[in-house]
């Protein structure tokens, strides 16, 4: 991505203040719907859906629904913060509180930690774009994210995430994880998932098919830290090679009943693999797509 300077006011005008609550309500709804749409999608190799719990024994769809309800206030609050040009430290404070509410709602189970981080940053950036009456194009969203939070993301201490699976994987395998994805302007969202989603929608006009295609594009290209944590490099190679083979053999174009995708789901479950990072990135892509359709 080639950044260009954006004229971002850090002190909102009265007009911005007046617009922020209505925008925050819309963004809260879009973010929540994006997470639900990811949950409802099936088949998704190894992931929780409304059909089954995937490779998980400690959570199911009801756990995710409770988590979703706990996060609605967070998306509203972080949109307000973003609209007002809040600093990264304020977003972190809101994220920590949201994670505490999530864990309380789920009985200590991590369902949406990655989404709190990734989707929260995108909601804040989108709010800043919209409050200034700019179009939420890909470049504008990424440049706003960079202008407001890029420096802090790059400087963020590893000590802040030492208890996460991402931190453990980074020490074992050198994988970057969500923090580096965000610092780079979410290339997996804007350069992998969204182009696949748009191309498949243009070709087939089928939302479910397009979402599955976007997920498999992520599975092929992303070094998912959840998969690395559960299955190591062997598990990651299996995930990426399986997704690559699925896509090269026709993917959703030649798989109208999704039989092969369901077979891959069973194979991931058998190996205990669940690409939670890819699921979060898919939800982020669905949020951006919804935002751009109804700016």
Percent of the chain with pLDDT over 70: 86
Asked if residue 49 lies in contact with residue 61, where contact means CB atoms within 8 angstroms, the answer is yes
Poorest-pLDDT segment among 78-82, 167-171, 201-205: 167-171
Task: Give the pLDDT confidence score for residue 13 in this predicted structure.
Answer: 46
Q: Model pTM?
A: 0.89
Rounded distance between C-alpha atoms, residue 172 and residue 128, angstroms:
37
Task: Give the pLDDT confidence score for residue 179 in this predicted structure.
Answer: 83
Across the range 4-28, mean pLDDT stands at 66
pLDDT at 12 over 70: no
Mean pLDDT of the chain: 88
Chain segment 222-267, per-residue pLDDT in tens: 999 999 988 999 999 999 999 999 999 989 887 767 889 999 999 9
pLDDT at 291 over 90: yes
- Grouping H, G, I as helix, E, B as strand and the rest as coil, residue 216 is helix
Across the range 20-47, mean pLDDT stands at 96
pLDDT at 23 over 60: yes
**Burial readout 82-103 (b: 16 or more C-beta within 10 A, e: otherwise):** bbbbbebebbeebbeebbebbb
**Burial readout 221-242 (b: 16 or more C-beta within 10 A, e: otherwise):** bbbbbbbbbbbeeebbebbbeb
pLDDT-based confidence at residue 294 (cuts at 50, 70, 90): confident
Contacts of 193 (CB under 8 A, 6+ apart): 214, 215, 217, 218, 281, 282, 284, 285
């Amino acid at each position: 991505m080639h950044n260009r300077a954006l004229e971002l006011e850090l002190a909102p005008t009265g007009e911005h203040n007046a617009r922020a609550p209505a925008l925050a309500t819309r963004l809260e709804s879009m973010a929540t719907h994006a997470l639900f749409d990811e949950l409802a999608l099936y088949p998704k190799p190894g992931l929780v859906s409304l059909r089954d719990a995937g490779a998980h024994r400690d959570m199911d769809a009801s756990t995710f629904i409770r988590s979703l309800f706990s996060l609605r206030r967070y998306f509203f609050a972080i949109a307000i913060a973003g609209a007002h040009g809040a600093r990264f430290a304020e977003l972190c404070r809101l994220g920590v509180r949201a994670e505490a509410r999530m864990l309380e709602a789920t009985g200590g189970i991590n369902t949406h930690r990655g989404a709190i981080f990734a989707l929260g940053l995108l909601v804040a950036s989108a709010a800043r774009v919209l409050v200034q009456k700019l179009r939420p194009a890909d470049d504008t969203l990424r440049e706003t994210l960079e202008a407001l939070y890029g420096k802090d993301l790059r400087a963020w201490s590893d000590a802040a995430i030492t208890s996460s699976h991402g931190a453990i994987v980074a020490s074992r395998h050198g994988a970057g994880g969500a923090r580096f994805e965000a610092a780079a302007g979410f290339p997996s969202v804007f350069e992998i998932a969204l182009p696949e989603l748009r191309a498949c929608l243009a070709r087939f006009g089928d939302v479910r098919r397009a979402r599955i295609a976007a997920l498999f594009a992520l599975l092929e290209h992303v070094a998912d830290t959840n998969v690395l944590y559960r299955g190591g490099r062997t598990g990651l190679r299996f995930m990426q090679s399986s997704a690559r083979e699925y896509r090269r053999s026709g993917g959703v174009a030649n798989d109208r009943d999704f039989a092969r995708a369901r077979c891959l789901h069973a194979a991931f479950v058998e190996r205990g693999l669940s690409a939670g990072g890819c699921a979060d990135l898919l939800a982020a892509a669905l949020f951006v797509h919804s935002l751009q359709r109804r700016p």
